[in-house]
Amino acid sequence: MSMTLAQLADRLNAEVVGDGSRKVTGCAGIQEAGDTDLTFLANPKYLRFLGTTAAAGVLVRKPEEACREGLTQLVCDDPYFAFRNAMVELHGFRTHPDPMDAVDDLISPAASIHPEAVIGDGTRIHPNVVVERGAKVGTGCHLYPGVFVGENVSIGDDSILFPNVVIYDRCRVGHRVTIHANCTIGQDGFGYATHAGVHHKIPQAGIVVIGDDVELGSGCAIERATMGITLIDDGTKFADLISIGHGTTIGKHCLFVSLVGIAGSATIGNYVVLGGQTGVSGHLTIGDGVQALGKTAIVSDIEGGRIIGGIPAVDADTAKRNALTSINLHELHKRVKRLERKQTD
């Protein structure tokens, strides 16, 4: 889509400083942008590129003197969020095709839909999808090839399941949920009772409940609870390859980066951010608003609002100092040995 910077600024509630008649057709990073692109400045470390970027316009929080001549500025309160909205205006979201072999009803004849399943109006179902007995799929959903929906599963309206998503029996998925390829929802939790040297499986009788507006990246695995539910609450977003243990509760609007692992029966508050490869031991409580640096090992309860890092988790500043100290432990060890020898001489 093409529009002038003035038209775009009007939609973004931004003020134009410069030539608003320039046309843009897309969005790009400040170093990669061309003369028909809009870019943004949200991090001060990119300020130096304002003098060299080829972009037609840039979203900024305040007018910047460092801009090259001819670069139009769109001044707004939150350049990053405005850039998101510009992406929606200029690029839009991914569109979802009809099944290529569907004739009239948007459901592929190569899909296997149980007669006792309920499919909502406008839902598209591709070849090799299986929807079992008693399952309910809402209106306006999209199920890509290879999706499996187990018995008595419920899926809310306008949800998207990409190829090879598996949802085990009785689990519940909310409205406007996006589950990317190869996720598994509701597999058995890792529960065994060891007796006389043998690991005996404990039946996993619970389910998984996923709230509204949740997005799960590719390859995530969410275990069903032994009893009760494993919960991923409204608005939470996962990157790829995240594992959630049985009986865990994840609060609203959390952000988990790739390779996060949560052991069973943990309770995670609202607006928690976990960096990549963070691990959380079982039966812990993490309060609202906690932020963990990448590779953090959380082995005890964490009160709300803390920023943590390290193995095991400590305050982020301490974790950074510990990491810097550990860069050359061998040299530090040699210095200590030399000092010890001097004391004994």
**Burial degree of 186 (CB within 10 A; 0-12, 13-18, 19+):** buried
Q: How far apart are CA 142 and CA 21, in angstroms?
A: 39
Q: How far apart are CA 177 and CA 167, in angstroms?
A: 13
For residues 128 and 146, the answer to whether their CB atoms sit within 8 Å is yes
Residue written as tokens 């090879």?
164
For residues 59 and 78, the answer to whether their CB atoms sit within 8 Å is no
Structural element, H or E, at residue 323 = helix 316-325
Cross-strand partners of 112: 130
Task: Please work out, in degrees rounded to the nearest 5, the angle formed at the alpha carbon of residue 275 by the alpha carbons of 248 and 306.
Answer: 80
Q: Which residues, at least 6 apart from 178, have a Cβ–Cβ distance to it below 8 Å?
A: 159, 160, 162, 214, 215, 216
Look at residue 47 and give its three-state secondary structure: helix
Q: Per the structure block, which two tokens stand in for 306?
A: 């803390």
Q: How far apart are CA 252 and CA 156, in angstroms?
A: 18
Q: Which of 246, 253, 283, 333 is catalytic?
A: 246
Which phi and psi (to 5°) does residue 223 adopt?
A: -75, 145
Structural element, H or E, at residue 247 = none
Q: How far apart are CA 178 and CA 185, in angstroms?
A: 13
246 annotated active-site:
yes
Residue 73 neighbours by CB distance under 10 Å: 22
**Rounded (10°) angle between helices 5-12 and 79-90:** 120
Q: Please give the positions annotated as active site.
A: 246
